[in-house]
Amino acid sequence: MSKAKENSKRDGKEYLRNSFAAEQEVLQVKLNLSTTSITHDGVMGDVNEKHFIEFLLRHLPKRYAVDSAIVIDSNGDTSDQIDIVIYDNQYTPTLLGQHDHRFVPAEAVYAVIEVKPTINKGYLEYAGNKAASVRKLERTSVPIKHAGGEYDPKPPIEIVSGIVAMNIEWADGFGSQAFHDNLNSLEGETSLDFGLALTGGTFDTFSDEITIGAPDNALAYFLFRLLEQLQSLGTVPAVDWNKYAEVMAQ
């Protein structure tokens, strides 16, 4: 019997916690390495985005795609460049993809995430503005045909947004009053729904009130809370591809 099997049999919950704690340590090492070894801020940011994207791709169901992307709507309006977009991988193709550059139709988006070195007032506002650039785009929806007729067009889902980083600036972490004040100042399209600081814990507002997770196993707590939220969103609406086609005919 392997050591991992023995540990699992002895205390399954402790085994699960330890396994994800090791995963968090690996990600922290990768982020620390890029911080200390890469001299160009833009390149360092790109590398750190890829580390988080790789983690999400390993753990999210295959129905979700995860990429750095620009979001586009049927009017040709576009979002800012988004560090991480979680979008439908089953019914909605990406558009005009070239190597690591791609456009994701607005209808396909479940969540957007910004990757930053730390979480502070400036980066919270930055992430909120990035989220707003996606949420303001038009999203179409058409009826879905089935054997007995058709389902009514599904309303667009509420796109969730967040920020992930290595650290958090406030000494009291996500329990800081300053953090809460800055988070609450982001309203409407700029609101942020979740965040992760690998050394400082997590927060989310998925339950309509803020939930704080401790630094220990913050990465796993963040993942499971995000999975539950994505599951609750169901499936994105069916895209009205004729709206996109009409632009081509003009």
Catalytic residues: 83, 114, 116
User: How many CB atoms are closer than 10 A to CB 229?
Assistant: 19
Q: Which helix (H) or strand (E) holds 144?
A: strand 144-146
Backbone dihedral angles phi then psi of residue 210, each to the nearest 5 degrees: -75, 135
Opening angle at CA 56, ends 15 and 180, nearest 5: 90
Sequence-separated (6 or more) residues with CB below 8 Å from residue 88 = 63, 64, 65, 108, 110, 235, 236
Q: Are strands 78-88 and 109-119 parallel, antiparallel or unpaired?
A: antiparallel
CA–CA separation, 103 and 48 (whole Å)? 21
CA 103 to chain CA centroid, Å, is 16
CA–CA separation, 223 vs 229, rounded Å? 10
Residue 203 structure tokens: 């927060």
The bridge status of strand 101-105 relative to strand 64-72 is parallel
List the structure tokens of 69. 């992307």
